[in-house]
Structure 1
C-alpha cells in the first residue's frame, strides 16, 4: 500500500523544459507558457441562469485553491529551504466536479472523501461557505494551519475523511456507510445519513485497497455509495498509457455497481450530434491518452493538422468537414470541452445516480484545467510563476496582492454561496455515553487455557455481566472468526448483514456454530482482506464522533498478517478511528504451522504506533483486566486504541499466582493495567539477575528462574503485560509537558536495586531492548530474529534460543557463572 507520493522530501520540483531554439511555437508549448487563447478564460458550463453563477463560483474556487498553494510557496518566509509544495494542477482538475457537487447536490447529511491532492479546493469551498476563516488561507502546510491533505482531526474546517494515504481515503466512505447501517440497526435513534461520496483520481485506482473494497459482498447493496473519478489520465510521473476507462467500467459493472460516464461537455456533444460530427467523436474516443495530452500542449495553429494526422484519406475528409469551420483558438477550446469541467453536464449526470446500488461516475477532466500548466505531463508538482498568477488573477477578476476577496453578499454568487451554506449546515448530534465498564467479570479461568481461548470466554462473560457495555461491542474478522475463538460470541449474538441471508444449515444437527445472518447480529464477517478489516474497524470506531452512537469494535486477525494491513491501520488511527485489534495466533509458539505463519516483528511494530497501546498478556486473568481497560479507553473520547497479541499455546494459570487477598488482588490488577508486575516472592533488592518476559513465554521464564535458584542464583521475575506501557513510563521521565505519568518502570526496576536483565519474548528481541536504559543494567535480549520452520513448540523455542536452557545460560553469563 503506497502512501501519497507528494512528500516534500521525495517530490522533485517540476522544471520548465528548456527550449531547443528560439522558435516561438516550441516556447509556447513548454510547461511555463500555455498555448495562447486556451487558458485566458474562466471555466464555462453554459451561458444562462444558475450555470453562469456556478461558472463564476468555480472560477473563484480555482483562483482561491491555486492562491492557497501559491502563498504557501512564494508568499511565506521559508527559513528551512525545504520545498513546501502543493498540487495546483491536481486541484484544478477537480474544481468543476467539487463546485457542481457542493453547490447543487450535496446535503448536510452527506459525507465526502476528497482526494488528497485536492485539499486546497475543499478549503476554498469551505471559505466561500463561511466554514473557514480568512486567516487560515495563508497557512497551508504550516504549523497549526491547513494540512497538506484533508485531515478530519487536524484541519480547522469541516473535513469528513482523512485522505492523505492514497487508496485508503477513497474506500473510507464505504466502511462509514456500512458502519452507519450497523449502528442504525443497533440503535434506531441514530441520526439519518445520506450519500457517502468518494472523490478520487484515476491513478488512485491502481491501489489494491480500492479493489479489495469494491468486491466485498456487502458493498454491492450499499446504494448510498457514490464514487466520482477525476479521469485526468495523469499520475505523478506520467500520462497513463492506453485508454483504460472501458476496462475500469467493466470491472465496476462486474462488481454490481452502476456505472455512469461524463466524458464530453455540451459544446462537444452538440458538434458530435451535428451532421458528420461522429467523425470527430470517433477520433477523440480512439485517441491514446498521450496523444490527447500532447494535443493540449500544442499551439492552436497545429491542432487541426494533428487531428488529421494518421487518418486515411476517407477519414481525413470526413473529419475535415467537421473541424474546418473552427478557427485555431475555437478548435483548441472545443477539444478541451470535457464533461468534468461542464458543470451543467455534471449536475445532469449526478441526477442519474441510483439509490439501490453503489455508483461510480467517470468524469473526464484535464489536469491543470484553466492554469498555464494545463495538460503538461510534468505538471504534478509544478507551481505557477508570479506572472502566470497575475494572468490567472486577471482571468478571474481578482488581484494577486489581495487574493482572498469573497463574493459580496448582495451579488448573485454571494447569495448562492449563502444559500448553499444554509443547506449544508449540520445540526449537532446527541452524544450517547457507553455504560461504565466493570473492573473485572468475576469468573475463574480454566486451570489450563490459552489467551486466545480466554478471549472467547471473555466476550461471553461480558455479555452476561455487563450487557449494556456488550451491546456496543461489535466483532469482525476476515474469514477467521472460528479460528480466533469467536464462535461462542457468534452463537450468542449472530452475524450482522445489511441484507440478511437464509441459513441453509440451520437444521444440520452436527453443526456447532450457528451462522445466522441478519440485521440484529454483532459480528461482521469480511472476506480474506485485512485492509478491509482495519478500515472498517476504524470507521466503526468513529460512529460516536459522526452520529453520537459510540461502538466498541474488536477485530481478530492472524498476528503475522498485521503487516499486510499496517499502513491502512496506522492511517485509520491518524484519522481518529479507534478500535481493539486482536492478533492471534502469534509467534513461533504456532510451531506446527511453520515459518509462513510464525510472526516476530509485531510486538516491536505495535509498540511504535502513536495512539495505540499494545498488550501481550500471559494469563487469562491478565487478559480480562487488560481487555476491560482497553474497552474503557475506547469509551473515552480521548482514549487510545489497543492491540492484543494472543497465542493458542495453553498455559497453566496457577503460574500467575493471583493474590487472594482483595487488597493485593486490586494492586495486581493496577500493575497489570500499568504494564507489568513482579512474580517473585522476594523483593527486588535480593535479585542477582532479573528475568523479564511477556506472553506465553512466561512458562519458560518461570521455569528458568527456578533452575537458576537451584544453581544458587537468586532470580527475580517480571511479567510484562504491555511493553508499550512500560516504554511510555520510561519516556515520561523526560517529558516536561506530559500530563499523565506512570511510575511502573521505576516500580519494576527500582534504581536503588540494580541487577542484570534477561529479557525474553516470542518476538523480536529489539522490543524489550529499551529496558537496559531504565537504570543502566547489563542486558541480554532473547527473541526471534530468523524465519521459522514447522516443529514442536519446544523445538521452535530451542531453534530461536528462547527455551528454558537458553534463558538459564543467559542468566549465568550475566552473573559471571
Structure 2
C-alpha cells in the first residue's frame, strides 16, 4: 500500500471487487457460461471505446483449465494402474542403468519417462486405439527420450524379451537388442514413426492429421474419429520445427490432432526457462494461433485449497511462480514449501495451518494425477473445430 493512499479507498476497492465478483457469479449460475463470456466481451469493448487501456494477455491463470465440477469421472482402478505404472517406471530406469554398467557410456534417458509415465499409461489404458477391421487406429508419435518406458511396458505385455531389454541400445548383440529411439527402419515391427530428430515428431503429426483430413474431405477414405497424438517435451519446443507449423493446424481446424507437452521444466543441460514460465509461454503461442489449450498443472491435492481461495490470493501466488522456483519447490521439504510458497502472504499461511509439513511435501503436480490427466484427454478427444494442446506440469 502506498503511504499516501487512504485506507478508505482500499476498503472501497475491496467492496467494489467483491460486488463485481458476486455479479459475475450470479450471471454464471443463472444465465450460463455463454452469456457470461458474451457479457465480459461487451464490457471489454465498452472499456476500449471509453479509452481504457487494457493490457493484452494471451494467458489464462496458472491453474488447471478444467474445474473440479467439470472433471470427467476416471473409469479405471487408480490403485491397480498405479501399481502397473510403478513396475513400468522401475524397469525403464533399471534397463538404462544395467546397460551402462555392462558397457560404459552407452547412454540413455531415465528422468524423461519417470516424469511422463502417467501421461503415457492413461493413454495406453484408456485412449489409444489399435488398427482393427472396424477402426483405422490412432497414430501415436512417442517422444524419443521416453523409449525405455515404452519398451518396459512391452516387456510386461510379453512383446519383447528380457535379453532385448538387457541389450538396450545394442541391437547387434546376441539375442537381439533395442534401438535408442523410435524408428521403423531399425524396429519395423515395433515403431511406426521416427520422432527424436530435429522436432520431427510434432511436425509430422501435424501433416499426418492434415493428410488424414484431406483424404476424408475428398472422399478418398471414410470419415473416422481416429486421432493423431504427439508427445513431446517442453525443452524441444525451442527447436524451430516443433512449433513451425502450428498455425497451419489451426487454420485447417484439425480437431483430429492432440499435442501432449510434458512440462517437467528441465532440458538435457538445465532448466527450460529458469527465470520464466514455459507453460505460460507455450499457452500464449498456441492460443495465439487458435489452438484449444488445456493446462494440467496441479494435482487433486490442491483442489480443497483452491476451493477456499475466495479472494484469488492462492491463484495470485501460483501466477507469480517462475520455473526455477517451481523446480526448487519440487525437491524441498514441507517446511520450506510452507515458508517460501505459502509464507509470502499471511492469509495463505493461515489457509494451510492444519496441513502438516509431510502433507505439503506430498502435494502433487497435475501430470502425476491420473484423474486429472484422464479428464484432460477426454476433453481433448471430445473437442471440435480446432487442434488441442495439453500442457502438463510434472
Is residue 179 of structure 2 the alignment partner of residue 147 of structure 1?
yes
Other-structure match for 2:22: none
Seen in structure 2, the aligned counterparts of structure 1 residues 191 and 338 have a Cα distance that, compared at 3 Å, is: same
Q: Report the 3-state secondary structure (helix = DSSP H, G, I; strand = E; otherwise coil) of the residue aligned with 1:351.
A: helix
Is residue 287 of structure 2 the alignment partner of residue 253 of structure 1?
yes
Q: Report the 3-state secondary structure (helix = DSSP H, G, I; strand = E; otherwise coil) of the residue aligned with 1:174.
A: helix
Q: Report the 3-state secondary structure (helix = DSSP H, G, I; strand = E; otherwise coil) of the residue aligned with 2:268.
A: coil
Write the mapping of 1:47-86 to structure 2, written as runs, cut at 5 A: 50-74=77-101, 76=102, 78=103, 81=104, 83-86=105-108
Pairwise CA distance, 1:333: 0.7
Find the aligned partners of 1:243 and 1:152 in 2 and give their Cα distance: 35
Other-structure match for 2:377: 350
Seen in structure 2, the aligned counterparts of structure 1 residues 47 and 299 have a Cα distance that, compared at 3 Å, is: farther
Other-structure match for 1:303: 337
Other-structure match for 2:50: none
Find the aligned partners of 1:275 and 1:182 in 2 and give their Cα distance: 47
CA contact (8 A) 1:219 1:358 kept: no
Find the aligned partners of 1:283 and 1:206 in 2 and give their Cα distance: 27
Deviations 1:9-50 (A, max 9, x none): xxxxxxxxxxxxxxxxxxxxxxxxxxxxxxxxxxxxx99961
Q: Report the 3-state secondary structure (helix = DSSP H, G, I; strand = E; otherwise coil) of the residue aligned with 1:204.
A: helix
CA contact (8 A) 2:366 2:392 kept: yes
Runs of 4+ with deviation above 6 angstroms: none
Other-structure match for 1:138: 166
Give the gaps of 5 or more residues in structure 2: 1-72, 131-136
TM-score, scaled relative to structure 2: 0.71
Write the mapping of 1:314-393 to structure 2, written as runs, cut at 5 A: 315=345, 317-334=346-363, 337-353=364-380, 354-365=383-394
Find the aligned partners of 1:138 and 1:277 in 2 and give their Cα distance: 55
Pairwise CA distance, 1:220: 3.2
Other-structure match for 1:235: 267
Which of residues 98, 111, 114 is equivalent to 2:142?
114
Other-structure match for 1:161: 193
Deviations 1:648-669 (A, max 9, x none): xxxxxxxxxxxxxxxxxxxxxx
Seen in structure 2, the aligned counterparts of structure 1 residues 123 and 277 have a Cα distance that, compared at 3 Å, is: farther
Q: Report the 3-state secondary structure (helix = DSSP H, G, I; strand = E; otherwise coil) of the residue aligned with 1:103.
A: helix
CA contact (8 A) 1:229 1:360 kept: yes
Q: Report the 3-state secondary structure (helix = DSSP H, G, I; strand = E; otherwise coil) of the residue aligned with 1:137.
A: helix
CA contact (8 A) 1:303 1:332 kept: yes
CA contact (8 A) 1:199 1:227 kept: yes
Pairwise CA distance, 1:186: 6.7
Write the mapping of 1:412-491 to structure 2, written as runs, cut at 5 A: none
Find the aligned partners of 2:221 and 2:315 in 1 and give their Cα distance: 52
Is residue 297 of structure 2 the alignment partner of residue 263 of structure 1?
yes
Pairwise CA distance, 1:331: 1.0
Which of residues 110, 126, 151 is equivalent to 1:88?
110
Pairwise CA distance, 1:198: 0.5
Find the aligned partners of 1:364 and 1:147 in 2 and give their Cα distance: 28
Seen in structure 2, the aligned counterparts of structure 1 residues 56 and 355 have a Cα distance that, compared at 3 Å, is: farther
Find the aligned partners of 2:212 and 2:179 in 1 and give their Cα distance: 27
Pairwise CA distance, 1:262: 1.0
Deviates more, 1:158-167 or 1:187-196: 187-196
Pairwise CA distance, 1:300: 3.7
Pairwise CA distance, 1:193: 7.0
Is residue 317 of structure 2 the alignment partner of residue 283 of structure 1?
yes
Is residue 206 of structure 2 the alignment partner of residue 201 of structure 1?
no
CA contact (8 A) 1:257 1:360 kept: yes
Which has more helix, going by share of residues? 2
Give the gaps of 5 or more residues in structure 1: 1-45, 366-817
Q: Report the 3-state secondary structure (helix = DSSP H, G, I; strand = E; otherwise coil) of the residue aligned with 1:360.
A: strand
Find the aligned partners of 1:103 and 1:135 in 2 and give their Cα distance: 26
Pairwise CA distance, 1:359: 0.7
Pairwise CA distance, 1:306: 2.2
Deviations 1:303-325 (A, max 9, x none): 3222255x3xxx2x201112222
CA contact (8 A) 1:126 1:158 kept: no
Deviations 1:105-135 (A, max 9, x none): 1111001111121111121222333433333
CA contact (8 A) 1:65 1:123 kept: yes
Find the aligned partners of 1:252 and 1:218 in 2 and give their Cα distance: 9
Seen in structure 2, the aligned counterparts of structure 1 residues 308 and 338 have a Cα distance that, compared at 3 Å, is: closer
Seen in structure 2, the aligned counterparts of structure 1 residues 73 and 212 have a Cα distance that, compared at 3 Å, is: same
CA contact (8 A) 1:123 1:157 kept: no
Q: Report the 3-state secondary structure (helix = DSSP H, G, I; strand = E; otherwise coil) of the residue aligned with 2:379.
A: coil
Q: How many matched pairs?
A: 308
Other-structure match for 1:388: none
Find the aligned partners of 2:110 and 2:85 in 1 and give their Cα distance: 15
Pairwise CA distance, 1:151: 1.3
The higher relative CO (CA closer than 8 Å, separation ≥ 6) is in 2
Find the aligned partners of 1:277 and 1:101 in 2 and give their Cα distance: 36
TM-score, scaled relative to structure 1: 0.36
Q: Report the 3-state secondary structure (helix = DSSP H, G, I; strand = E; otherwise coil) of the residue aligned with 1:325.
A: coil
Find the aligned partners of 2:352 and 2:301 in 1 and give their Cα distance: 13
Find the aligned partners of 1:153 and 1:234 in 2 and give their Cα distance: 30
Pairwise CA distance, 1:279: 3.9
Q: Report the 3-state secondary structure (helix = DSSP H, G, I; strand = E; otherwise coil) of the residue aligned with 1:215.
A: helix
Is residue 123 of structure 2 the alignment partner of residue 101 of structure 1?
yes
Deviations 1:465-493 (A, max 9, x none): xxxxxxxxxxxxxxxxxxxxxxxxxxxxx
